[in-house]
Structure 1
Amino acid sequence: MIEKILIADDDTSVVAALQMLLKSQGFEVVSVTTPDALLEQAKKQQFSVALIDLNYQNDTTSGHEGMQMIAELKQIDEKLPIVVMTGYSSVDIAVDAMKAGAADFVQKPWGNERLLHTLRTQIQLHSAHVIGSKLASENTLLKDQLSLAKHAIVAESESMKAMLLQLKKLAKSDMSILLTGENGTGKSMFAEYIHQYSMRHKQAFIAVNMGAITESLFESEMFGHMKGAFTDAKEARIGRFELAQAGTIFLDEIANIGISQQAKLLRVLEERQFERVGSSKTQQLDLRIISATNANVDKMIVSGDFRQDLYYRLNTITLHIPALRERKADIIPLAQQFLTQHAHKYRIPVGTFSAKAAASLEAYDWPGNIRELSHIIERALFLCTGDCIEVKDLGFGLNEHQDQASTTGADGNSAQTSSFEQDSLDDIEKGIIVARMKKFTGNPIKTAESLGLSRSAYYRRLEKYNLT
């Protein structure tokens, strides 16, 4: 590829000398003698570098015309490298030109080797930048495609099809959204889905588990702090709001924060500004807020556990994510998706589900929703002895919630004392938790992880079922 150089100088002898030199080195040269002609050529063609004099007929000493040309060239093509030519007595002007956007300068009369080296260096840098920008654009596009594929949501059921249509429409707005639904329904996944289809998708998506932030650390975690702001502040820290600037912040388990924390959060949402702890500098907030909870916020407002004014700030619109048992048509497609994902993760054959296993999956009530389905499929992948996952591999037959309880009948055969069909949802959930507690000898971290719960959510269930 022949590199094209744009030359501008009102001295025709200088132009002729430059043309002879550069053409002998294999460059294509376009030369002009006025600023207007220079800008016209820059608009018409793409150049690898521009070599321009700073002084013309209207002003032969100050370089003001050249400075204006640099600014106008940058408006036409901000990536075009500009090399300016100056006299020995005009070094200060050359420095000003570089501050204005010139890439380098050469002095008149020039040395051919120095001039050629300068131009080739700028051409190489420009080519590398162009290629890098193209690769970056392609990489961004690929990342966007992969991100959308990652957050593709199974929607075979009518309820989920309607939900996705609504989500895509709402994503284009900037309104605050509150996601409600049971644990494990995928509220965080839906939050990311909204972000990926929003106008802010190229900016950060910051997820915060509000239930895991203690009251004493709330301001530091959310707003950041300055070095020395308090005893343990050995260095400055950026808060979650600042990290999410221009993007989306997802406040998960929003109902788990205390009243004092709610007041601090409300002030930020109302005024759209905050300060780091220990700083008097106010920062403006520009982000989209999505929050989620599995709690009944209306009841919490009545009981005084949640501020109504904060609730109104969070729920410009509220979307309820249906439980898995309410979207039966999605169970098998989701199970197959998880099977494929886990198989690829562990580099083992994907396999299929037997007809009875598929029927069992559809019949189960899924108290743990999508999270539980994922865990069961992952386990079944390793329990399976062939290419086909059977009912026994799913682990339903173990009835973990019953602690594998069975009784011996009069005929000496083992008979289960209860079944999923007879137990209430709370009985099933309590039984599963008890079984996992025994399996992990009461270790709360391992037990919570095996259930797909955060520690705060796990402890809430212990209190609910009096298992503390």
Structure 2
Amino acid sequence: MSKNKGVILLVDDDEDVLLTGKMILRPHFEKVLTESSPKTLESSLKYLSPDVIILDMNYKSGATSGNEGLYWLRKVNEIDPTIKVIMNTAYGDIQLAVECMKEGASDFITKPWEKEKILNTVINAFKLRATENKVAKLESTQTALVNDLTKSESPMLGESVEMQQVFEMIAKVAKTDANVLITGENGTGKELVAKSIHEQSNRLKKPFIKADLGAIATSLFESELFGYRKGAFTDAKEDRPGRISIANEGTLFLDEIGNISDGQQSKLLSVLQNREVIPIGSTTPLPIDVRIVSATNKNIQEAVDHGNFRMDLLYRLNTIEINVPALRKRISDIPILTNYYITKYARKYEKTVHGLSSECITKLKQYRWPGNVRELEHAVERAVIMTSNSELTAEDFMFHDNKEIETTRTLNVEEVEKNLITQAIDKFNGNLTKASKELGMGRSTLYRKMEKYRLN
């Protein structure tokens, strides 16, 4: 018979009661722990993380009021209201036990114990907590996914040799559990590659959770990824699973992995090595089964060579590397991409735009597209909104002048990014909210990049 993977804690000052409880429950649960006094209960909850507590109502010699039991029941509920507390009472205390249930007790059992009664009561309490935890996790998962569900996602499109190679690599790696590192410039579609890997994998029916590491403040890194227990810090009003736990059995997409600090790298490496995560405020590790797909626009190997990225972490992330080509390296895909976005935005804005002129296609292919596919999409959206014609022409697009185009012809990713940020800020006359939206990044990410490139 397999045991329930739970922790049961018995609190009673009668050693015979504790011994009897162990004998009855141990064949059914992995951990059955005992405490002879509730005085250590508060500290014990922080590292034992029990699912069910069997709590006696009286501890002082001759005491019958049950006030101690009520006090410790309230204390448990303050620390972790998800723990199921079963009150342990004598026959004469049944009315008091009913009062305890009004205070949040899960159930009560009477002394002397009947084996089947205590066993069924504990198992039912354990199953109830497991169900409630599952519901809470589903609600957290729904919250984490809501932005993705409301986004109008574009498919991966491309007929070029370069994109066919990407599609082939995705097909080969998707069915495995190998971790994947996706590289490429901003706007090339790295997140689409990550989602395609998940959608073609055996984890398809499990969550795909994104963590934008470039947008997570350093102080929130652990709480966002690892989660926290109620009371771990001032605003921790309830238990909250981190994105790693939410992605359990599914895929965790770590975007902008190259931006995390040395300390964050160390903590992430520990999680990947041990295959477990410890929420803030807890000492109990939670096992995880998650596939890691990461993305970066940086040269990670160069960062390793300069001591800015841990080599051992790179090995964990980079079982397979997929490089997404820049749009200027796959110009044959521009017509199919442009026509897709024309159809998409003509429908959205109720415009009768059906295509683009051959002259327009030529000009689109000549442009360098420093913002890649993301910039092309934004350009087509603007053109569809502004045009009065049924067919887009070159005049419907706003291209940078030759001098601006020339500044983006470097192949250095950071130089391209710096130039693109500068252009976006200039375009909106210093309005960083509009600039960040144009660039497709959060304002906090834009601030950090401005500081990095000394654009303040």
TM-score by structure 1 length? 0.61
C-alpha contact 1:156 1:330 (8 A) present in aligned 2: yes
Distance verdict in 2 for CA 1:172–1:279, change over 3 Å: same
For the pair 1:274 / 2:277, whether they are aligned, the reply is yes
Task: Give CA deviations for 1:315-359 in whole Å, capped at 9, x if unaligned.
Answer: 011111111111111111011111111222223224210111111
Equivalenced residue count is: 308
Aligned to 2:442: 454
* Cα drift, residue 238 of structure 1: 1.4
- The structure, 1 or 2, with the larger RCO (C-alpha pairs under 8 Å, 6+ apart) is 2
Which has the larger displacement, 344-353 or 263-272? Answer: 344-353
TM-score by structure 2 length? 0.63
SS in 2 for 1:278: coil
Distance in 2, matches of 1:210 and 1:381, equals 33
Aligned to 1:41: none
For the pair 1:229 / 2:259, whether they are aligned, the reply is no
SS in 1 for 2:293: strand
Determine what percentage of the aligned residue pairs are the same residue.
44
For residue 390 of structure 1, the aligned residue among 393, 418, 434 is: 393
Aligned to 2:405: 420
C-alpha contact 1:185 1:321 (8 A) present in aligned 2: yes
Distance verdict in 2 for CA 1:218–1:463, change over 3 Å: closer
SS in 2 for 1:261: helix
* Cα drift, residue 362 of structure 1: 1.0
Distance verdict in 2 for CA 1:433–1:287, change over 3 Å: closer
- RMSD between aligned alpha carbons? 2.9
Structure 2 matches for 1:15-414, cutoff 5 A?
152-396=155-399, 399=400
C-alpha contact 1:151 1:193 (8 A) present in aligned 2: no
Aligned to 2:139: none
Partner amino acid, structure 1, of 2:205: K
C-alpha contact 1:185 1:323 (8 A) present in aligned 2: yes
* Cα drift, residue 169 of structure 1: 1.5
Distance in 2, matches of 1:364 and 1:465, equals 25
Structure 1, unpaired ranges of 5+? 1-95, 100-145, 403-416
Q: Quick check: which has more Rg, 1 or 2?
A: 1
Partner amino acid, structure 2, of 1:270: Q
* Cα drift, residue 463 of structure 1: 4.6
C-alpha contact 1:448 1:458 (8 A) present in aligned 2: yes
C-alpha contact 2:407 2:419 (8 A) present in aligned 1: no
Distance verdict in 2 for CA 1:419–1:297, change over 3 Å: closer
Structure 2, unpaired ranges of 5+? 1-119, 124-148
* Cα drift, residue 430 of structure 1: 5.9
Aligned to 2:110: none
Task: Give CA deviations for 1:183-231 in whole Å, capped at 9, x if unaligned.
Answer: 1110001100110010011111001101112222111111111110112
SS in 2 for 1:333: helix
Partner amino acid, structure 2, of 1:451: L
Distance verdict in 2 for CA 1:262–1:395, change over 3 Å: same
SS in 2 for 1:263: helix
